[in-house]
Amino acid sequence: MTIEIIPAIDLLDGSCVRLLHGDFDKCKVYDLDALRLANQYASDGAEWLHVVDLAASRDGEDADIRPLLRLLEKAPQSVQTGGGVRNDKDIGIRLDQGASRVVIGSISVNQPGCFAAWLKDFGADKLVAALDVRLDEDGIPWPRTHGWTQGSTRNLWQLLDYYSEMGLVHLLCTDIGRDGAMTGPNVDLYREITQRYPGLKLQASGGVSGLNDLRELAATGADSAITGKALLEGCFSVAEARQFLR
């Protein structure tokens, strides 16, 4: 079974960064130009790019999203982008600027009716539900929002039961405990998602540290794997990953 590699770029004030467990106080800045990095990933064979605008997440309506919009306009591959998307205007701006898909986090957790309406208005192929989860002591995954500081009244399975009826196509799921830690992905979680909801196109995120992790993710039935830090740290390249998975 194959899996698509989607490199991730986190933008903060125009710089490429990575956060550990989403914590702005644990931020590593990379001396890399985002567009140059996007071009490198494209030349290595990445047909998609995942871009998170951390400034929009942090600053809300006051955020300077010009670095994101420049990247959307010039990136050579298809781009999906999230971070700070709070209304239909935010979605429209990103799509109009060249984004192929817009990733919705907090709204998809806290206002499922609103997100379901957007699926209808914009088209299910244009939106991604980004559900960042933390497992409780019973192993039940619960979505978290607002920098992972707030919980949800519905667990992951309850939300996906609803969204599978509303026509959701693209799901990005991150195990918070694995994100940015390079400790290996939660393959059991992703396998359960694909078994419960075979109609969803799952993007697995969090914990990838080496090529064997990608092979394990492919075996879960996930359609794609999002990886950021492992690429930035030189653990492997997109080209090496594609060759390995062949």
Question: What tokens does 156 get?
Answer: 């992951």
- The CB-based long-range contact list for 190-196 (8 Å cut-off, 24+ gap) reads 190/217, 190/220, 190/221, 190/222, 191/219, 191/220, 191/221, 193/156, 193/160, 194/220, 194/221, 194/222, 195/221, 196/157, 196/160
Inter-CA distances, 65 with 2, 7, 61, 225, Å: 34, 20, 10, 26
Question: What tokens does 80 get?
Answer: 């999906």
Inter-CA distances, 235 with 1, 40, 209, 210, 229, Å: 22, 16, 7, 6, 9
Supply the residues annotated as catalytic. Answer: 10, 132
Backbone dihedral angles phi then psi of residue 180, each to the nearest 5 degrees: 70, 0
